[in-house]
Amino acid sequence: MALNDLYTILSLDQNGDQINCQMGIDASHPVFQGHFPGSPVLPGVVQLEMVKSVLAKALGKPLALKEMSTCKFLEVFNPSETEEMTIHIQFKGDVPLDVSASGAHNGKTYFKIRASFS
């Protein structure tokens, strides 16, 4: 199933090695029919993909996840209740990029990761 219409970048601001991006989540996307019917949850792998997409767009180059040292999913993201998430990314280096990222909305943090991308 194509995920390219599951989320959209609403705004993206980069200041040096920091990126803040407002993402919109389509609560009517078919992925939520299977994950999970009646109680939709944004899959963790999609949240990680969102980080990669934002980073790639901000830097203007394709990226791949090389290594993940930490990954914590702290809250369930239900798109029926919340249709937006702010992705915050801090990075250093060139290739590979050393990345710390989180996804949050209204004071609730959904995930935190530390990873490298090449």
Whether 104 is covered by a domain: the verdict is yes
Whether 35 is covered by a domain: the verdict is yes
- Domain harbouring 34, CATH code: 3.10.129.10
CA angle (42, 22, 16) in 5-degree steps: 125
Whether 17 is covered by a domain: the verdict is yes
What pLDDT score does 37 carry? 85
What pLDDT score does 15 carry? 97
φ, ψ of residue 52 to 5 degrees: the values are -60, -45
Per-residue pLDDT of the chain (118 residues; tens, 9 = 90+): 456 699 999 999 999 999 999 999 999 999 998 888 889 999 999 999 999 999 999 999 999 999 999 999 999 999 999 999 999 999 998 889 999 999 999 999 999 999 999 9
Domain limits for position 73: 7-117
Whether 2 is covered by a domain: the verdict is no
Q: How many domains does the chain have?
A: 1
Whether 81 is covered by a domain: the verdict is yes
